[in-house]
Amino acid sequence: MPNPSPLKLVLLGPPGAGKGTQAARLLERLELCYLSTGDVLRRHRAAGTALGRQAADHMDAGELVPDDIVIAMLLEEGDDPRHGFLLDGFPRTIVQGEALEARLAAAGTTLSAVILIDVPDELIVDRISSRLTCPHGHVYDVRSPSGRAGACERDGESLVRRDDDHAEIVRRRLAVYRDLTAPLEDFYALRQLFLRVDGSRPPEEVFGAVLAALEGLGAGDAVAR
């Protein structure tokens, strides 16, 4: 049976907040179209497309890819937004937030909520400098069993350190987040869409808080097992 009111969610938070980890858990519960702009950009790079080449230097420097490129990519990749979605890594600037709002308005819909996963900077640098990822975006700590084995436990792919996961670049990504992305907190607070979750706790606890926040929104039926 089609879901009568599918959730339209944005995951917001600094690099290393655990957005990808929480997204994977949410998708086990909710049938939503998932789009991670970071993953899409990395796929373009790996495939050597024009877009991937345009994005590469920005990504490696820890800077944002220009708004027009990312917005065009999102419009091309995104399905009909009325069916529900989970966006990870978009929007990252006010201009992108406005573009998303316009796209949704054109489809006669609006966001259900923006989940902010909040983590202090010191913890982020530590987390990112010890993380490994597989080509499909699954994330592991180097000290975990899968991290030590160097293979993804979900798809068997080799784990690697992302080019932009080095301490100096991580600090630049954090500064960019504070300057360009954090202003979206006020943007969404004004629209009363904001759900703030403490992301410094273990992933299961953060997930519990995410579910509780969604239930508070009246989305209890959608997330209940």
Omega before 91 within 30 of 0, i.e. cis: yes
Closest residue by Cα to residue 13 from 88, 123, 78: 88
Nearer to ligand ADP, 84 or 89 (CB): 89
Q: How far is CA 96 from CA 13, 28, 37, 106, 108, in A?
A: 15, 27, 12, 15, 18
Concerning whether 8 is annotated as a catalytic residue, the answer is no
Q: Which of 30, 65, 114, 152 binds ligand ADP (CB under 6 A)?
A: 65
Tell how far CA 21 is from the center of its chain: 9
Q: Is 15 in the site for ligand ADP (CB under 6 A)?
A: yes
Catalytic residue among 19, 42, 45, 127: 19
Catalytic residue among 29, 103, 161, 162: 162
Q: Is 41 in the site for ligand ADP (CB under 6 A)?
A: yes
Closest residue by Cα to residue 195 from 221, 218, 178, 179: 218
Return the range that interacts with ligand ADP (CB under 6 A); candidates 61-69, 144-152, 153-161, 191-199.
Answer: 61-69
Concerning whether 196 is annotated as a catalytic residue, the answer is no
Neighbours of 133 (CB within 10 A): 20
Q: What is the DSSP letter of 48?
A: T
Q: Is 132 in the site for ligand ADP (CB under 6 A)?
A: no
Q: Is 38 in the site for ligand ADP (CB under 6 A)?
A: yes
Q: Is 97 in the site for ligand ADP (CB under 6 A)?
A: no
Proportion of the chain in helix, strand, coil states, percent, rounded to 5: 50, 15, 35
Closest residue by Cα to residue 42 from 134, 130, 127: 134
Alpha-carbon span 72 to 87, nearest angstrom = 15
Pairing of strands 113-118, 194-198: parallel
3-state secondary structure of 12: strand
Contact 135, 157 (CB under 8 A): yes
Return the range that interacts with ligand ADP (CB under 6 A); candidates 43-51, 58-66, 110-118, 195-203.
Answer: 58-66
Give me the least distance between CB of 46 and ligand ADP, in Å please.
13
Q: Which of 21, 22, 37, 112 binds ligand ADP (CB under 6 A)?
A: 37
Return the range that interacts with ligand ADP (CB under 6 A); candidates 45-53, 59-67, 201-209, 211-219.
Answer: 59-67
Return the range that interacts with ligand ADP (CB under 6 A); candidates 43-51, 88-96, 152-160, 214-222.
Answer: 88-96
Q: Which of 30, 64, 134, 197 binds ligand ADP (CB under 6 A)?
A: 64
Residues that bind ligand ADP (CB under 6 A): 15-16, 37-38, 41, 58-59, 62, 64-65, 70, 89-90, 92, 96, 164, 173
What residues are annotated to the active site?
19, 92, 131, 162, 173
